[in-house]
Structure 1
């Protein structure tokens, strides 16, 4: 366990550093969008391209991983919406809450952390789970969040929101960098040396800047949402993310292996650990954009990120 904590500690320490820097205004809040832009449009796409181009294409197109992980994501979304909707939490808040319960922080945290823990062979599976969440889970939850928009117009609103969500996916550089990396892997393509070195330098910057930015984003969200909120509105969803999601992936993955699905135990371990990650921090931006209760979403992300230092480390100890 100590060896695991020695690996995970620097990752969570960088998140804490970003949180403290923003809280103490050592990092101006106005600078956070700039950090986000650097990570989203430069560093992280380069890191994903590097991992994708050096990962066997078969790993990036594993139908067993896709099927099991996608089914778990759909179950998590349906279950979270079913138990959280009430007179105050309607479709918009319930659907975005379901997204933080089903969408782990694989981009900013999971890829570098699991590569450090399990080696580069784990990265292809992590990238595949991230694609599923970016394309399917996010689009579904955004579409469901529009069901509040008037009786008789919910279906059309849902379709419009689904189209907007897909447009958002297509304008996101991360899926494209994964696709380009997969194509490069399939055709054994390598970039010209000066270009490759530039891309690799940006890729090396992705992990520390992304983790620091997570902390800063969480601090900003906490500072901007000071209204009181019942623990029951966000703690159960945080527990579902950290405990129920990985247990569901483990249970369904184990059942799939037992009935003959060609899913390797090593791949299942990576999927479980990906599910055990804290909630994706970018869901807070989606909640703000679509008018959901961003204070609730930010609290869920903050709780899962803080608690994951122990829960994620425990999951690693059990799965490795």
Structure 2
């Protein structure tokens, strides 16, 4: 386990650096959208393209991986909605659909893009890239769209509008297109000309440190804004259930789904299974906070869940990976 912590420490240390720089005012809040834009539109798409282009096509089109992760994502959304709305309790539900849906998204969407891909490739090698790309595609296309649609159930006809907005947002997101282009290059064995390839290499190499620093900055900004807004407090009872779902139930559901797939004769190699389980143990995706703010959900709660899962995952992630490698 100590060896795992030594590998993961720099990744979490960069998150802490971004948090401290923003919390202490060394990084202005106005600079965070620029950092986020650089990661989302330049560095991360370059990294995902390269992983896609360098990964064998069979790993990128792995049906058992897609089916098992999709099933787990749907189960996690259902569990998180149940935890938030408490339909078994007499009286009104604990939360409306908007807050419940984004609680579900933050429980089901691990931080695969900003943190997971570089971290798991560093820990488990290039073979981790294929399953991670499948996970990113499922979460960006299916999980996000489903939760956005659920968030509009409180308003008549709103879910249709929200679903259209989600699909438009997905079409404008460069990451799915970068993955698709990488798959095309992998299938046809294409190569970019030398100068273009070197430019992509430079962008891809910057993705991990800048993305991790940006995670910390986004979390610190959310905490600062929440601290300045005294209109309502975030109770731990609104945070801990979803945190436990993300860090412990998600990888457990992933392990059970893989076991079920094996019983059905569609098992995956042990290395792939390890990647999927520990990826499910990653903290919540930081971009859910930005999406929740845009859709009018209780972003203070979502940001607190992301912060707690990120801090706790330094230990829980290493414990789960260490247990799998025994």
Q: TM-score, normalised by structure 2?
A: 0.95
Paired position in structure 1 for 2:285:
280
Matched, 1:49 2:49: yes
The list of structure 1 runs, each at least 4 consecutive aligned residues, that deviate by more than 3 angstroms after superposition, is none
1:160 CA drift (Å): 1.5
Aligned pairs for 1:182-261 within 5 A: 182-226=183-227, 227-261=232-266
CA distance in 2: counterparts of 1:229 and 1:286, whole angstroms: 19
Residue matched to 1:24 = 24
Deviation at 1:88, TM superposition (A): 4.2
Offset at residue 166 of structure 1 (A): 1.1
Instruction: Say which SS state the counterpart of residue 201 (structure 1) adopts.
Output: helix
1:112 paired with 2:118, answer: yes
Matched residue count: 315
User: For 2:311 and 2:233, how far apart are their aligned partners in 1?
Assistant: 19
Instruction: Quote how far apart the aligned CAs of 1:268 are.
Output: 1.4
Whether contact under 8 Å (2:19, 2:213) holds in the other structure is yes
CA shift, 1:262, in A, is 3.5
Distance in 2 between the 1:43 and 1:30 partners? 20
Structure 1 residue matching 2:10: 3-state secondary structure:
helix
Equivalent in 318, 321, 325 of residue 316 of structure 1: 321
* 1:95 alignment counterpart: 101
Q: Over residues 7-60 of structure 1, what are the superposed CA-to-partner deviations in whole Å (9 max), with x where a residue is unaligned?
A: 000000000000000000111111000000110111000000111100011111
Is the CA contact 2:259–2:267 (under 8 Å) kept in the aligned structure 1? no
| 1:266 aligned partner | 271
Does residue 136 of the first structure (1) align with residue 136 of the second (2)? no
Structure 1 counterpart SS, 2:95: coil
Pairwise CA distance, 1:263: 2.1
User: CA offsets per residue over residues 195-216 of structure 1, 9 Å max, x none?
Assistant: 1000100100000000000000
**CA distance in 1: counterparts of 2:85 and 2:226, whole angstroms:** 21
Contact 2:46 2:204 survives alignment (8 Å) = yes
Unpaired segments ≥5 residues, structure 2:
87-92
Map 1:290-305 onto structure 2 (within 5 A). Answer: 290-305=295-310
Kindly indicate whether the alpha-carbon contact (under 8 Å) linking 2:84 and 2:94 is maintained by their aligned counterparts in 1: no
Match of 1:123 among 105, 113, 129: 129
2:71 matched to which residue of 1? 71
Query: Residue 152 of structure 2: SS of its match in structure 1?
Result: helix
Q: Could you tell me how far apart the structure 2 residues matched to 1:10 and 1:207 are? A: 11
2:5 alignment partner in structure 1:
5
Task: Give me the whole-angstrom Cα distance separating, in 2, the residues matched to 1:114 and 1:220.
Answer: 27
Once the two structures are TM-superposed, the CA of residue 251 in structure 1 deviates from its matched residue by 1.1
* Partner residue, 1:161: 162
Which sits farther off after the overlay, 14-23 or 80-89?
80-89
- 2:46–2:201: 8 Å Cα contact kept in structure 1? yes
Quote the Cα distance in structure 2 between the aligned partners of 1:179 and 1:212. 27
Deviations 1:163-202 (A, max 9, x none): 1111111110001000000100000000000110001001
TM-score by length of 1: 0.97
Consecutive unaligned residues in structure 1, runs of 5 or more: none
What is the alpha-carbon distance in structure 1 between the residues aligned to residue 196 and residue 266 of structure 2? Answer: 41
SS in 2 for 1:147: coil
**Partner deviation per Cα, 1:198-249 (whole Å, 9 max, x = no partner):** 0100100000000000000000001111242211011110111000000000
